[in-house]
C-alpha cells in the first residue's frame, strides 16, 4: 500500500493544487495533504482556515486526508508512514527549488522518494500568490479557485480593508 504526502502552504488552495491531489489520489492508495504550520511570512489565511478550506474541497476524494505539520517535511512523512512526497512542477522556474528540496529530503531519509507531477497546462501559470494579488485588486478569481474558497478570500479581503 503506497501512501503519498502532498505538502504545501496552501494560502489558499487553488484548482492547480486540486488537480495534483486528484491525480495523485488515482496513483496512490492514500494521499495525505500536509499543511505547513511554520511560516515566516504572514499568511492571508490562518492555519485553521486553510485546513478547513482544504477539507471542504477534498471531501469528494475518499482516499485523501488533510493533516497539519510543523518542522521538517521528512519527519512528518515518516510519522505518516508515507513512502512518497508529491510535488507539482509548473515550469522550469520551479525546478531548481524542487530539485534542491527533493535532494535534501533524500539525504535526510533515502527511503522516501519525491515524485513530481507535471502541472496540467491550464494551471501552469497559477499560484496562490497570484490568486491573492488578483483578489486584492478585485480581479476575478472564479477560474482559479473553488466557489467556497473564492467566497472566503473575498470576505477576508473585505474584512482586512475594514
Whether the link from the prior residue into 34 is cis, omega within 30° of 0, is: no
Nearest to 21 by CA among 13, 31, 12: 31
Residues 85-124 contacting ligand PNS, CB under 6 A? 101, 104-105
Annotated catalytic residue, options 30, 87, 128, 152 = 128
Site string (24-43) toward ligand PNS, x via CB under 6 A:
------------x-------
Annotated catalytic residue, options 90, 132, 150, 152 = 90
In terms of CB distance, is 7 or 12 closer to ligand PNS? 7
Among 4, 5, 6, 7, contact with ligand PNS (rule: CB under 6 A): 7
Contacts of 74 (CB under 8 A, 6+ apart): 105, 108, 109, 112
Q: Mind giving me the DSSP string for 59-88?
A: TT-TTEEEEEE-S-HHHHHHHTT-SEEEEE
Q: How far is the CB of 98 from ligand PNS (least distance, A)?
A: 9
SS3 13: coil
Is 17 known to be catalytic? yes
Residues that bind ligand PNS (CB under 6 A): 7-9, 36, 72-73, 101, 104-105
**What are the residue numbers of the active site?**
17, 41, 90, 128
Amino acid at each position: 500500500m503506497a501512501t503519498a504526502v502532498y505538502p504545501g502552504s496552501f494560502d489558499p488552495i487553488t484548482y492547480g493544487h486540486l488537480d495534483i491531489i486528484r491525480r495523485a489520489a488515482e496513483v496512490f492508495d492514500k494521499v495525505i495533504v500536509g499543511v505547513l504550520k511554520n511560516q515566516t511570512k504572514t499568511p492571508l489565511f490562518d492555519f485553521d482556515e486553510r485546513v478547513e478550506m482544504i477539507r471542504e474541497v477534498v471531501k469528494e476524494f475518499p482516499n485523501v486526508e488533510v493533516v497539519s505539520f510543523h518542522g521538517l517535511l521528512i519527519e512528518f512523512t515518516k510519522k505518516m508512514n508515507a513512502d512518497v512526497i508529491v510535488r507539482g512542477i509548473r515550469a522550469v522556474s520551479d525546478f531548481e527549488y524542487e530539485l534542491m528540496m527533493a535532494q535534501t529530503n533524500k539525504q535526510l531519509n533515502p527511503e522516501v522518494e519525491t515524485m513530481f507531477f507535471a502541472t496540467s497546462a491550464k494551471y501552469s501559470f497559477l499560484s496562490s500568490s497570484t490568486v491573492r494579488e488578483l483578489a486584492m485588486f478585485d480581479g476575478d478569481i472564479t477560474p482559479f479557485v473553488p466557489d467556497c474558497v473564492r467566497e472566503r478570500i473575498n470576505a477576508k479581503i473585505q474584512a482586512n480593508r475594514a
